[in-house]
Every structure is written in structure tokens, then in C-alpha cells.
Amino acid sequence: MTQTSPHATGSDADLITAPLTYRADLLKDQVVLVSGAGSGIGKAIAVQCARLGARLAICGRKADKLEATAELIRGLGGEVLVRPASIRDADDVGRLHAEVWQRFGRLDHLVNNAGGQFPQAAIDYSVKGWNAVIDTNLTGTWHMMQAAARGWRDHGTPGSIINIVTVIWRGMPGVAHTCAARAGVIYLSKTVAIEWAPLNIRVNCVAPGAIATEGMDVYSDEAQRDLPRSNLMQRFGQARDVADAVTYLAGPSGAFVTGEVMVVDGGNQVWGDQWTIPRPDYFGGQRP
């Protein structure tokens, strides 16, 4: 979604100046690794963490997008390691995590935000299209989780993982591949929350509903018009709504929270169709 869209997320200036929900030293000196931090929700999370005193490591595939986020962080006086990487590449993910430890000597939180999908009827998925979404959203997320956990285990320090997923519980017509991947991440997270509790690692998820970001550009104009009507608030959420949930889980407020999924969706989990492809006649036909 472009910044000129009526539903566009806050501008860079908003990310820097919007009033903080949390006190400004909440994450002071902590190190946060955010994937997909070059745009949308990841950018909002990274900038908010920097405003809360954290030092950042950011990754994504496109260096120019990451640099733009890094500029904002540096402008705030923050410290940031910029590391282009695809989360699909397990070896490169391993090197990324090694660089984070080398640079900062610690990692406190991993925010697995990188991901995406394309709208298509599931019956038409190609093998390559299915694999692209599963390899990114499920397997790529896992590479990052495992590398982080190994780092904390090897250094004998605590850590927390926050995985950005989505609202899967009533299905997601038009994006079945991402629904499958995110369901996998949620139950992976609940399981390793148990296995990694002895390592003092908390593992949680945040499930956003329809949030106004550049990522929405992959959907048709009709879908973008319809999505804000798919929740009780009748609007898009903002990237900072998700950043606030991440901060809740990362900060002292999250100290007794693990294996949880925090839903930030304006109530879409209880009401509202979320079709991202034309609705079949069987269900009342095309969206208005």
C-alpha cells in the first residue's frame, strides 16, 4: 500500500514522533533482531524498539529498504546492524545470528516478521507458488527460531521470540498457503515454548488482522476496499498496533507470558469475512 493510499500506514515522521504507549527506556540496551524490517509492520516494530532504547539488528532481502529503516533509527541516535538476508537460506541465517552476537555480544528478542503471500484460489496453486509461501513463512521462520535458540543455549542467556502470524482460526479464503504456514508456526511456537522453557526462552506469537501497510499492494483494489470491513472496528489496523503488542510481549509485561498468541485484529477472529479473491456466487457473489 503506497503512502498516498487512504488507508496508508503512518509516515516515517509518524513512526518517529507518534506518542509512545510505553516508557522510553523500556528496552534500554537490549538487542532486538527484526526480520522484514524494511517496510510495514517490521519497520514500525524496529523503529519503536529503537525509540524504547533497544539496539537493533534488521534483515530482509532488499538492502535499500533496510537502509531507509536504519536511517530513521540512526536519526534517533540508535544503533543498528543492517544485514540483508533471506530467511529461506538456513546457512545465511546462521551467519546473520553469528554476526549479531559478534557485534552486540547479546540478543534479547527475535521478532520474526518477514513473510508474505499472494492471493489465489488454492486449487490453482503451482508447486513453486506453494513452496515460496511455505518456505518463507514456515521454514524461514523456523530457521530464525532455531538459530536464535542455539545462540541463547550456547551463551547461557535468556531470550524471547515473537512470531508475527495471522488470524487463522476461521480459515483464510484466497490465502490457504499462508493459513497453513501460520498454523504451523503457531503450533511450532507452542511446542518449543515447552522444549525451550528450561533454556529460559519464551516463545509467543502476535496475530494481526488487516493492517494498512505496503504489503497490501499485492491485493486487488476491491480486496483492499473490503478488508477494512472485515472486522468489528470497520477499519484497517495500524502497524503501530502490532508494534505495541510486540513490545508488550518483549517488555516486563511479557515476563510470565509464553506459548501465547496475542490477536490484534479489531475482532476479525469472531466476525467478518476476509476474502482476498472474488467471493464465489455460492457465498453471495462478488464483494460490493
Ligand X SMILES: CCC/C=C/C(=O)SCCNC(=O)CCNC(=O)[C@H](O)C(C)(C)COP(=O)([O-])OP(=O)([O-])OC[C@H]1O[C@@H](n2cnc3c(N)ncnc32)[C@H](O)[C@@H]1OP(=O)([O-])[O-]
Please report how close the Cβ of residue 117 comes to ligand NDP at its closest, in angstroms: 6
Could you give the CA distance from residue 172 to residue 179 in angstroms, rounded to a whole number?
6
Determine which residue in the list 14, 20, 61, 129 makes contact with ligand NDP, applying CB under 6 A. 61
Q: Which CB sits closer to ligand NDP, 53 or 94?
A: 94
| Alpha carbon distances (Å) from 152 to 2, 91, 100, 127, 147 | 38, 18, 12, 36, 9
Instruction: State the DSSP code for 280.
Output: P
268 binds, among ligand NDP, ligand X, none (CB under 5 to 8 A by kind): none
Q: Are 119 and 216 in contact (CB under 8 A)?
A: no
Site for ligand X contains 216 (CB under 6 A) = yes
Q: Among 144, 150, 161, 44, which residue's Cα sits nearest to residue 110?
A: 161
128 binds, among ligand NDP, ligand X, none (CB under 5 to 8 A by kind): ligand X
For 66, the 3-state DSSP assignment is helix
Radius of gyration of the chain (CA): 18
Q: Which CB sits closer to ligand NDP, 31 or 223?
A: 223
Site for ligand NDP contains 23 (CB under 6 A) = no
Please report how close the Cβ of residue 16 comes to ligand X at its closest, in angstroms: 22
Of the listed pieces 104-112, 117-125, 181-189, 253-261, which binds ligand X according to CB under 6 A? 117-125
Site for ligand X contains 126 (CB under 6 A) = yes
Q: Which CB sits closer to ligand NDP, 60 or 272?
A: 60
Phi-psi region of 251 (alpha: psi -120 to 50; beta: other; left: phi over 0): beta
Site for ligand NDP contains 184 (CB under 6 A) = no
Strands 55-60 and 80-84, by their bridges, are parallel
126 binds, among ligand NDP, ligand X, none (CB under 5 to 8 A by kind): ligand X
For 9, the 3-state DSSP assignment is coil
Other CB atoms within a 10 A radius of the CB of residue 281 amount to 8
Phi and psi torsions of 173, nearest 5°: -60, 125
Of the listed pieces 46-54, 123-131, 152-160, 181-189, which binds ligand X according to CB under 6 A? 123-131
Q: Which CB sits closer to ligand NDP, 30 or 113?
A: 113
Site for ligand NDP contains 213 (CB under 6 A) = yes
Please report how close the Cβ of residue 63 comes to ligand NDP at its closest, in angstroms: 8
Contacts of 99 (CB under 8 A, 6+ apart): 57, 81, 83
Q: Which CB sits closer to ligand NDP, 88 or 153?
A: 88
88 binds, among ligand NDP, ligand X, none (CB under 5 to 8 A by kind): ligand NDP
Q: Are 53 and 30 in contact (CB under 8 A)?
A: yes
Could you give the CA distance from residue 144 to residue 150 in angstroms, rounded to a whole number?
10
Contact set with ligand NDP (CB under 6 A): 35-36, 38-42, 59-62, 65, 86-88, 113-116, 136, 140, 164, 166, 208, 210-211, 213-216
Footprint of ligand X (CB under 6 A) = 116-118, 120, 126, 128-129, 132-133, 136, 166, 172, 175, 210, 213, 215-216, 218, 274, 276
